Structure 1
């Protein structure tokens, strides 16, 4: 049967009168609106008003959900975040997942543990009116993120200006020699202190870690003259070091010689005093013996004197009493011949010859004493 015949079962533009076709679209929309009204408390009024209310509710739900989701933000381990609510400082948050009311709060994140670096180079005037080109590097980090974000509009630009000001002030108070060679470490320390004072007065929230001043260079027009000055200064230091080394070597030696001479003089003094005291004691002891036996003591002194003289002589002349013959003993020749080996040929040694000579001298002494005694008897 055709669809347009009376009593037909299906109408493509109408509802399903038979109950076995697809559901009606209007009916499905009405059911959905009814459910939304139940959820959001919509009224059961007219169809158009209910539809507008439901659509507005959906839009609001979507907006609220998006506003809540987009309010989450992540702060890294090296960062800290400054939160402003309606332009006013609210809080400083650390690493982690955080949430903010979107469109109400603003978040500024900065790396606080990262060491930053800034390099500068420029020509400036020293205290002695010389131009020098001085490069330097500033190492710094953020120690107060709130001050860094809020107090200064452009903290890094302020850092550059403050660095130039501090450097020119310190270099302008130093001589060229200090800047070029000897005083760079001191200048770097003074620049660091002055730069930190400037930044603290600004409230920039920046902490200066280190100032590295590289090799200062004079202008290229006068570089040759500066090289000559540096070379002369190096020669001066070398000569001073050599003179100091010579001084360190000669002064202790002179002091040692002086000390040795003093000790020798002291030892000689003690020796002379001891010998004088010994001679005095010997003379006193001899005087006592002389007072007891003058003749014997006199004879003993004579013999001791002769012995001393004869022991230091290499030639001996002996006058025989009662005769014209004179006996000559060349002791030096005898000793020399014994040393050269002639005494070895005769079977005598140098010690034997010396003992013989001593025996001869002693015998002559005894004979002299005997003859003297006979003359006294007569």
Structure 2
């Protein structure tokens, strides 16, 4: 047991569990601190009697207590600052001015000594009421008034007064300006199938505006997207009814009219409040993968059409010439019926003149002259002689 007691005492001294002859770091507390014990190596029982405290001697100061003044008496039992003292110091509104909180500027006072704060608050409230109750609507616009989110009425252009927000609110839309939807957007490709099983890359523009603002705002979830989808459906249906030559040729105007009528019927059935002003086809090209071959075919078709046009023009000229000759013959025949002998002789002379003018022989029908005079040969022989002289 002696060895066991020595080991316990030595363990206590090394670990600080038993502090023999040392004061508590938390202060003596007026002699109420619990004393530590020590055990000798002889194995006697540990002495639990506390040693007398020296006059005026004290242990280390309690770290949780506020710092003490050097002039006054040292009171180890003084309490720390409470929560009220902390907030009082942070306010900085005392006479000492020792607060560390932010210095908030105060509004100047009115001449009568009252604060300007109520006046400023009143002006802010009036400005809010003015902006939420009075509405200026442009000539091309209309407004929809909603009361707690439900439709109330439609406002025309001009000045209108409503209840303040959040009781009533007004949403203004431009109802006269023409809106444009280009399909497809950007440089995308929109392929459509024609009636003769050909693909065509089509780009078109849809022009529309708002007819009924109430229906436009409350009937459809997304009116703009609805217009685009209806336009694409109507265009595909119209393209499927015509051939490729009509799409890329003279049939565009009829296709645009059909698309506009179909779109308006569908949008009216939806009660969308939208009116279609027109559809314009901007581009009709073959697919990009076959554009080279398509250009060759188109060039061959154009050449063939040019030949056809040239043949038709020649046929028209020939027909016109034949018609003119027939008209002239009819006129001659009318004169022939009036004087047949004279007309017969004149026709004979004209015919012989036209025929003999292309020969080199001269024939004179008289009884005393030679039947044939070689006048052309004589003329040709005379020309070299005149040249030599």
The TM-score normalised by the length of structure 1 is: 0.54
Per-residue CA deviation, residues 249-305 of structure 1 (Å, 9 max, x unaligned), is 221211111121222223223213899xxxxxxxxxxxxxxxxxxxxxxxxxxxxxx
C-alpha separation in 1, matches of 2:226 and 2:143: 21
Per-residue CA deviation, residues 126-179 of structure 1 (Å, 9 max, x unaligned), is 222222211111111112222211211211010011011111111122212222
Per-residue CA deviation, residues 26-84 of structure 1 (Å, 9 max, x unaligned), is xx99xx9xxxxxxxxxxxxxxxxxxxxxxxx9999889856642312221222111112
3-state SS of the aligned residue for 2:197?
coil
Does the CA contact (< 8 Å) of 1:136 and 1:212 recur in 2? yes
Matched, 1:159 2:221: no
Matched, 1:230 2:298: yes
Structure 1 equivalent of residue 151 of structure 2: 89
Matched, 1:250 2:318: yes
Matches within 5 A, 1:342-353: none
C-alpha separation in 2, matches of 1:127 and 1:270: 66
Matched, 1:109 2:172: yes
Decide which moves more: 59-68 or 169-178.
59-68
Distance 1:313 1:222, change over 3 A: closer
Distance 1:72 1:220, change over 3 A: same
1:210 deviates by 1.8
Q: What root-mean-square deviation, in Å, do the aligned CA atoms of Structure 1 and Structure 2 show?
A: 3.3
C-alpha separation in 1, matches of 2:238 and 2:339: 70
Matches within 5 A, 1:180-191: 180-191=248-259
Does the CA contact (< 8 Å) of 1:108 and 1:149 recur in 2? no
Structure 1 runs, 4 residues or longer, greater than 3 Å off: 57-68, 312-315
Matched, 1:198 2:274: no
Matches within 5 A, 1:63-78: 65=126, 68-69=129-130, 70-78=132-140
C-alpha separation in 2, matches of 1:89 and 1:246: 73
Matched, 1:136 2:201: no
C-alpha separation in 1, matches of 2:155 and 2:321: 73
Structure ranking higher in helix proportion: 1
C-alpha separation in 2, matches of 1:117 and 1:209: 10
Does the CA contact (< 8 Å) of 1:139 and 1:209 recur in 2? yes
Per-residue CA deviation, residues 214-251 of structure 1 (Å, 9 max, x unaligned), is 22111122112211221122223322322232233221
Aligned length: 231
Structure with higher Rg: it is 1
C-alpha separation in 2, matches of 1:133 and 1:232: 21
Matches within 5 A, 1:1-378: 65=126, 68-69=129-130, 70-102=132-164, 103-121=166-184, 122-272=190-340, 315=368
C-alpha separation in 2, matches of 1:170 and 1:176: 12
Decide which moves more: 80-89 or 170-179.
80-89
Structure 2: gaps (5+ residues): 1-111, 185-189, 344-364, 370-389
C-alpha separation in 2, matches of 1:247 and 1:313: 49
1:313 deviates by 5.4
3-state SS of the aligned residue for 1:113?
coil
C-alpha separation in 1, matches of 2:253 and 2:298: 18
Structure 1: gaps (5+ residues): 1-27, 33-56, 276-311, 316-329, 331-378
